[in-house]
Amino acid sequence: MFSKSCKYAIRAVLYLAIHSNAEHKLGVKEVAEALDVPGPFLAKLLQQLSRHHLISSTKGPNGGFYLSKANSNANLRGVVESIDGPEVFTSCILGLPVCSSNNPCPLHSRALIYRQGLLELVEDQTIKEVAKRVERQELKI
Amino acid sequence: MFSKSCKYAIRAVLYLAIHSNAEHKLGVKEVAEALDVPGPFLAKLLQQLSRHHLISSTKGPNGGFYLSKANSNANLRGVVESIDGPEVFTSCILGLPVCSSNNPCPLHSRALIYRQGLLELVEDQTIKEVAKRVERQELKI
DNA sequence: AGAATAAAAGAGTTTTTTATCTTTTTATTG
DNA sequence: CAATAAAAAGATAAAAAACTCTTTTATTCT
Ligand code: FES
Ligand code: FES
């Protein structure tokens, strides 16, 4: 469903939400090791998220990646859109050039339900809320 | 979501459902041109579907691909599983090694809803039923 | 039987995605 | 202000997915 990159990105964001804040930033290496994900690759992803202002970062000693208040009050949709592109939520499930109710493909009407589930997945809770649940219920990332 | 291969496969199966039967088989070329899909690549996909008995084929003059009665009374799930693998319906949305309610990832519970939508998409109508609707409503493939 | 036809199988090639390595820039601290 | 720590940027490499080409095998028709 999501690309591998996107899965890494979501997990990294949640890790940052739990373990970092403006006073305590994390290096790529720590995050990569915690998630068991290739470090240099994750670096690229975090840089991209940072460029799109979905996470925050500073250079230099004591620098690193972290989530600002604003970052963690957002939901995960932006993260997904930043990595996999916004089309994941709108494109035709059969790959036809446009998806529209005027010109639907054979699976269009049911695709809407599926897509609704997908949106709920990433939209109806903030990153902070997800992180809280992870801590309370000791979920794996 | 589905791989490109899988999208091609679904569309090809629907095309066969509409335009072929045991007495009138279609060559790869015709299907590929109708769907505007790379021919030799589609050939591989159809061969694979045929090996898994999701579509039917015969060699030689007047040979080609077609859907048997049994084929068109099945749903699309088998087609998807044959091309993209059965994991698409069961694997963790964040790519964790196992997906289970005992050991859920942060998105697991909502992932179930999403996955339900996905299953409905491919499971709760037969290929024949989809094909009928395509004909009646003149849908694009 | 022999020619023609069409899928099956096998062996490439290209493109995209995933992953690594190196250098540069920026901030911090002593 | 020098030394250092860390992200940013750039360039390269490996793996996977998408796509192509060639040969083989089965079937039909003359
Ligand atoms: S047209 Fe295919 S999903 Fe909407
Ligand atoms: S554990 Fe991640 S979706 Fe079930």
Coil, helix or strand for B21?
strand
Burial of A76 (0-12, 13-18, 19+ CB in 10 A): buried
Domain of residue A129, residue span: 4-136
Longest CA–CA separation in chain B, Å: 56
Any strand D atom closer than 7 Å to B117 CB: no
Residue B66: strand pairing partners: B56
- Number of domains comprising chain A: 1
Torsion of CA A130, A131, A135, A137, to 10 degrees: 10
pLDDT recorded at residue A93: 98
Q: Quick one: tokens of B74?
A: 């099945």
Mean of pLDDT values over A1-29: 97
Confidence of residue B73 (pLDDT cuts 50, 70, 90): very high
Q: Quick one: tokens of A130?
A: 């997800």
Instruction: Indicate which of A126, A134, A139 best probes the interface with B, i.e. most B CBs within 10 Å of its own CB.
Output: A139
Hunting for tokens 């068109």 — which residue is that?
A: B72
The answer to whether the pTM exceeds 0.75 is yes
| B15 to A14, A41, A92, B141: CA distances (angstroms) | 43, 41, 17, 7
Task: Work out the angle at residue A109's Cα, subtended by the Cα atoms of residues B16 and A92, and round it to the nearest 5 degrees.
Answer: 70
- Assess if residue A86 is contained within a domain: yes
Query: Which amino acid is residue B7, in one-letter code?
Result: K
Of A4, A118, A139, the CB nearest to B114: A118
Confidence of residue B141 (pLDDT cuts 50, 70, 90): very high
- Assess if residue B81 is contained within a domain: yes
- Assess if residue B141 is contained within a domain: no
- Assess if residue A40 is contained within a domain: yes
- Assess if residue B75 is contained within a domain: yes
The C-alpha of A89 sits at a distance from chain B's nearest C-alpha, in angstroms, of: 10
Which residue minimizes the CA distance to atom 2 of ligand 1? Answer: A92
| B26 to A75, A105, B12: CA distances (angstroms) | 48, 22, 11
Q: Quick one: tokens of B101?
A: 């309610």
Task: Read off the pLDDT of residues A35-47 as tens digits, 9 standing for 90 and up.
Answer: 999 999 999 999 9
Query: Which amino acid is residue B17, in one-letter code?
Result: A
Residues within 6 Å of ligand 2 by CB: B 92-94, 96, 99, 104-105, 107-108, 111
- Assess if residue A125 is contained within a domain: yes
Torsion of CA B42, B45, B50, B52, to 10 degrees: -170
Confidence of residue A14 (pLDDT cuts 50, 70, 90): very high
- Assess if residue A29 is contained within a domain: yes
Q: What's the gap in Å between B100 CA and the centre of ligand 1?
A: 30
pLDDT recorded at residue A12: 98
**How high is the mean pLDDT of chain B?**
97
Query: Which amino acid is residue B86, in one-letter code?
Result: P
CATH code of residue B50: 1.10.10.10
pLDDT recorded at residue B62: 96
Task: Read off the pLDDT of residues A37-87 as tens digits, 9 standing for 90 and up.
Answer: 999 999 999 999 999 999 999 999 999 999 999 999 999 999 999 999 999
Residue whose CB lies within 8 A of the most ligand 2 atoms, among B94, B102, B110, for a mutation test: B94
| DSSP notation for A58-98 | E-STT-EEE--HHHHHSBSHHHHHHHH-GGGGTS-TT--S-
pLDDT recorded at residue B53: 98
Query: pLDDT over 90 for what percent of chain B?
Result: 100
Helix (H) or strand (E) holding A137: helix A127-137
- Assess if residue A141 is contained within a domain: no
